[in-house]
Amino acid sequence: MNFFFHRSPLILLLTSRYIRGSRVTGLLSIKSRISFIVMAVGVALLIVVLSIFNGFQRQLKESLWQGGEHITIESSSNGGEIRDYQKIIKYIQNDPDLKDRIISVEGGIQSHGLIQRYNVFYPVLIKAVAVPSVDELIEHKLHNFPRVVHYDREELGHLNRENYIILGKEMEDLYNFSLGKQLTLAVPGGRFSLGKGVEVSVQNFRVSGFFKTGNYKFDSSFVYMALPVAQKFFKMKDSVNQITIKAKSLDDLAISKRKLYKLFNSLEFEQEIDASSSLSVRTIAEEQENLLAALQLEKTIISIIVFLFIILAALGMVASVYSLVRAKRKSIGVLKALGLPASDILLIFTLNAMLVGILASLTGGVGGVFLANSLDTIIGYIEEIINLLGPSFTGSDWTPVELVPKRIYYFDKLPVDINIPFIFMVTTAATILSGIAGYFPARWAASLNPVDTIRND
């Protein structure tokens, strides 16, 4: 009899059904239902939360990648001017440790400035890069220039000779800077002197295009122009105030920075380049370090909080299986008296708990993926409903609600990145936790004495 019970899957299934009863199974008990719901909700929330944070990190890296340079070299001497920038560029391009890690090296100018329109001044960051070809600019082939999305092709053809500028797309809506508008730019020009202070260079420019990176802060504050025009505007002649590098991978920025300092400290470089010791290197990861660290910290904390839902469901599973064992003590005693091994009793109740975990994981996984994909639409509907009903309560004082503020998160839409391997890991972890939760009460069921159980129940 013992051999028959142990070897036959059919008998194992029948005994499992017998233990659970004919009307109300352990899987459908109230406590099991509660554990099922809590675990499914926990899995779904964990998938949604981490998909959002993964999307934020991916979108941020993409906007950093598209927004401009990855490594910036600046000088602390000569008023920040780098006069031998062409020689420095050749050294970097020919360095065996660097040439395989970089895409492009170019000289450029970056400075704070003011845009004036209708007696209103707007602070901006002005950036000048080389534009060798209009076709390359339009086809997004210039490594240090963001993607141009709206432009006047004829005016872009004169970008290197006349006062034309390209603005971030968000500035069109923020300040009503439309294509073809005349704007006045004011920037520091020339060198600082104790007698005159800082000279200001003021010229009129025409808006000939708009760019977009997806980074709201970048698209709402940067102004691009061609390097030859900027050199005249800033009175820098043939100099630049920074050398920019586009890297092949954002993960290599720290290594590339060390290689650059090694190059700058070499004897040949110091003999060839004046004021080589004044050169400094910074990466875009360092500039955005606080934002990246904050996203990672929020992701970790919220993930831990949501994962507690799954652990809570597992604890509920322990109580559910214990209740099931107590309700079926007599049936367990009869089956053990008939020769059913204790290992099969252990397996039956453990699989019962794992089955609940599997169903909860599948339900939560499918629900989480659906919610993550639909979250942007759902938030949009909620915003519309709030903004539709809000004025009826507050009247004219109502301020439109923005559930995902662009000025905080920098993105024009809610980014979501669903990671399939991570979903598999979460559902597997939930299933394993369910099995562990069912194992301990199953051990108690397997250790019951059949004689005492039948006599007492």
Strand partners, 229: none
110 phi and psi angles, rounded to 5 deg: -140, 135
Q: Where are the domains of the chain?
A: 3-61+291-456, 77-277
What token pair was written down for 78? 């000569």
pLDDT value of residue 317: 73
pLDDT of amino acid 2:
46
Percent of the chain with pLDDT over 90: 12
What's the confidence (pLDDT) of residue 227? 92
The beta strands (E) that lie in 155-259 are given as 164-168, 182-188, 200-212, 222-226, 242-247
Q: Which residues of the chain have pLDDT under 70?
A: 1-31, 61-68, 189-198, 291-292, 295, 394-397, 405-413, 450-457
Report pLDDT digits (tens) over 149-208: 889 888 888 999 999 999 988 888 888 888 888 999 998 865 554 455 567 888 999 999
pLDDT computed for residue 210 by the predictor: 94
- In angstroms, rounded to a whole number, what is the distance separating the alpha carbons of residues 162 and 182? 13
Dihedral of CA 170/173/177/178: which sign? positive
N-to-C CA span, the chain: 24
Q: Give residues with Cβ within 8 angstroms of 317, minimum separation 6.
A: 32, 35, 39, 353, 356, 357, 434, 437, 438
Q: At what angle do helices 329-337 and 289-327 cross, to 10 degrees?
A: 70
* Residue that has been written with the tokens 């719901």 in this structure: 37
Tens-place pLDDT, residues 101-117: 888 899 999 999 999 87
CB 200 within 8 A of CB 186: yes
Instruction: Locate 1 and state its tokens.
Output: 């009899």
Helix axes 289-327, 342-394, angle to 10 degrees: 130
Q: What is the 3-state secondary structure (H, E, C) of 276-331?
A: HHHEEEEEHHHHCHHHHHHHHHHHHHHHHHHHHHHHHHHHHHHHHHHHHHHHCHHH
- Please return the burial class of 456, using the count of CB atoms within 10 Å of its CB with bins 0-12, 13-18 and 19+: exposed
Residue 129 pairs in a beta bridge with 226
Q: Please tell me the pTM assigned to this model.
A: 0.61
Question: Can you tell me which residue has the tokens 């979460």?
Answer: 426
Helix axes 420-446, 342-394, angle to 10 degrees: 130
The DSSP call for residue 115 is E
